[in-house]
Amino acid sequence: MSVGIGLDLLDIDRLERALARRPGLADRLFTAGEQAYAARRARPGQHLAARFCAKEAVTKALSLDVFRPLEIEVRGGGSAEVGIMLSGETAKAAAARGLDVRVSLTHTPTTAGAVAIAHEAPSPELEGSA
C-alpha cells in the first residue's frame, strides 16, 4: 500500500550553473557513483538534475524533515531499472516506519523531474515465499 508521494522538477540549466559556480557542490549533493554515472553521459548536468529531483521527491514521499542528499543514492538509469539506496538517518527513518520507496525519473532538454512513491516494505517473513 502506498503511503506517501513526492514530486520534484528542476531547470537543468539552473543546476549546471550552480555546479559551475561552486566546485564542491557536486560532492555535497551526489555520491561518487551518481557523479560517475553522469560523467559518462553527453550532458552530465541533465542526469544529475534528474537525480537531484529524485532525492527531493524521496524526501517528500517519506515526509522527512531534513534533506540529506548523500543518504539517498539513485542507482541505474538509461536502459537499467532505477533504484534507490538509502543510508544513514534517512534509512533509519524509512525502516522505523516500515517503508520502501520507488522512483521514476524523466527529463527534457530543459527540465528534469522525478516522482517517488513510499510504500509499505515487504515483511521479511514473506520474502521468498511466492
Residue 130 reports pLDDT greater than 50 = no
27 is in an annotated binding site: no
Domains and CATH numbers, the chain: 2-120 (3.90.470.20)
8 is in an annotated binding site: yes
User: Which run of H or E residues covers position 118?
Assistant: strand 111-120
Given pLDDT bands bounded at 50, 70 and 90, which one contains residue 1?
Answer: low
Entry pTM: 0.90
Given pLDDT bands bounded at 50, 70 and 90, which one contains residue 109?
Answer: very high
Q: What does the alpha-carbon distance between residue 61 and residue 67 come to, in Å, rounded to a whole number?
A: 12
